Structure formats: C-alpha cells, structure tokens
Structure 1
Amino acid sequence: MLKIDCEGMTSMSRKRFTDEQITEFLRQAKDGVPNKKLCEKYGFSVSTLRRWKELHDNVVRNQLEKMESTAAIVYLGIIIASLLLTIFSHKAAGVLFTLLMPGHCIYYIVRYRKVSGKFISSDNVFLSRSGRGANNVFYRLSWVFVFIILSSIVYAILT
C-alpha cells in the first residue's frame, strides 16, 4: 500500500490519524464509500479528506514522473546500444539487441497502469490515463511500439 506523509502540518497541530489509517480512508473512498459518510464515521472534515487525496495525487504524480524519466533513459540506452552494435558489429547483433525493447515496453505499460490506477475508482481509470494531464509520452510510445512489433509478426506469418 502507498503511504502518505502528511507534511506541512504546523507544530501546533496534532496528528490524529496514522498514515496507515489515512491510506485505509482513501481506499474506502476509492471503493465508492461517499465522502460525507466516511467523514462522519471517522470524525474528520471533507476538506481534510480532499487534502489527503491531493497529497496522494502528488505522490502518484511524482512516481509517474520518475517512471517517465527512467523510461526515457532506458529507451535512449536501448536505441543507442542497438545503433552502435549495428554500426560496429554485425547488423544482426543490433537487431537482436532491439528485441529487448518490446519486453521493456510491456513492463513499462504494466507498471504505469498499476501506479496510475492507485486509488482511482475502476470506472474512472480510463479517464486518468487519457484525460487532461495524462499525456505520458512513453506510455503511448510503448503502446505504439508493441503495436508495430505485433503487426510485423502478423505480417511475417501471413507472407
């Protein structure tokens, strides 16, 4: 489970709920429990729940940005290595090294979907990946690359 650090609280304020409890509240909100009912049951305000959700969104957003920067380095590394192998070695070596790309693309797609789906109700998952602010270049590039590889395989089989 994802832990949320409630930083930004003044020294005067007392932390009433642990990070595990907050995570449980957010999970319940994701599962469809109305915000007002959660707040009444556990004794916190709707604005506090909104603040916790925003903190969580920032954590998820930071994870996705870190994944994207890591993916950029990996994609660039694979492309450069395959080009260098093609130039300085046999072309087959570069092609074989390029075959690592679909595996990494699928791995990246699975991780991205897992991280972006945290605490999002199942009916809104598509919107979280395709809506405003969800333009992750490497997620889309991974899908394009997987589609191209699958199309190439189908073409090779049919001809």
Structure 2
Amino acid sequence: MSRKRFKEEQIADFLRQAKEGMPDKALCEQYGFSITTLRRWKELHDGAIRNKLKKMESIAAVVYLAIIATSVLLAIVFDKVVGVLFIFLMLGYCVYYIVQFRKVSGLFISGDNVFLSRRGLGASNAFYLFSWIFVILFTLFIISSAAVGVFRG
C-alpha cells in the first residue's frame, strides 16, 4: 500500500479552497496533485456528508416517534394538558434539527450557494420539512391563542 502524500488536514484545506471558489486546475497546479485526485477527494467528502445527513434523518425518525408516542401516552394516562406540555420538547428538537441540518448541509455546498443550505439542499429531507412545518404551526397557534386572549379580556 502506498504512503499518503497529503495529511487529512491538508486535504480538508484543499477542499475548503475549492469550495471557496479557487479553480480546480489552479489548485492542483499549486499543490502538485491531479484533478482526478481532487475529484476523488470531493466525492469522498460529499459521500461522508450524505451519510451524516442520512444518519441524522434516521435518528430524527426515532426521536419524533418517541416524542409523539410519549405525548399521546401521557395524554391518555394522565391528562391532555400533560400530553400537550410534552409537545414543547418536540418544538425544541425541531429547532435543534433545523440548526444541525443547515450546519451539516452547509458543508456540502460551495460558499457562494449558502442559500441552498438554508433551504436544506432543496429541502428533500422529510424531517427538515416536518420540523419547519411544526415550528410554523406551533408559532401560529401561540399567536392565535394570544390574539383570542386579548380579544376576550
């Protein structure tokens, strides 16, 4: 097996420079590696990020299911108010998931396309969309409840 010519930190720096807009050909000439090698590094990096996003999605599935099941169980066993209060945990996790998803997906794309990471890479991740929908609906519910309370008293 051949010895690696570049350390992982150097490769990460090369990928960062490429992501920031340095032309591939200039980068390869400056540091002395081929465009094929750079493409391979990019594919490995992109694959690692895709795997991280898939892992986040599978963890989110378990967490969301657990929160919903626990909330329903608490509402049945104790009181509906107890079950509803547990939904605040869902809101917290939704916000956490949105932040983490945007951070990880931001690693995947180039710096000039930051808008894509804010959208969630086209928002093809179901839990990313679910989290946004939940946060928006929760916020609308709180606003409408506050408005009804103001008009009543």
The alignment's TM-score, normalised by the length of structure 2, stands at 0.90
Q: Percent identity?
A: 61
Deviation at 1:127, TM superposition (A): 3.8
Deviations 1:106-127 (A, max 9, x none): 0000000000101522332444
Equivalent residue number for residue 61 of structure 1: 50
Counterpart residue type for residue 112 of structure 2: D
1:121 aligns with 2:110: yes
Counterpart residue type for residue 37 of structure 1: A
State how far apart, in whole Å, the 2-side matches of 1:122 and 1:144 are: 27
Show structure 2 runs of 5+ residues with no match: 149-153
Deviations 1:35-67 (A, max 9, x none): 111100000011111110000001000100000
Show structure 1 runs of 5+ residues with no match: 1-10
On the 8 A contact 2:46/2:108 being kept in 1, the answer is: no
Structure 1 segment 10-25 matched on structure 2, within 5 A: 11=1, 13-25=2-14
1:40 aligns with 2:29: yes
Equivalent residue number for residue 89 of structure 2: 100
On the 8 A contact 1:27/1:119 being kept in 2, the answer is: no
The alignment's TM-score, normalised by the length of structure 1, stands at 0.87
In the TM superposition, structure 1's runs of 4+ consecutive aligned residues that sit over 2 Å from their partners are 122-131
Deviation at 1:25, TM superposition (A): 0.4
Pick one of 3, 15, 27 that aligns with 1:26.
Answer: 15
Taking a change above 3 Å as real, the CA distance of residues 67 and 19 of structure 1, as seen in their structure-2 partners, is same
Which structure shows the bigger proportion of residues in helix conformation? 2
Equivalent residue number for residue 6 of structure 1: none
Deviations 1:91-112 (A, max 9, x none): 1110111111111000000000
Equivalent residue number for residue 61 of structure 2: 72
Q: CA RMSD in A?
A: 1.4
1:154 aligns with 2:134: no
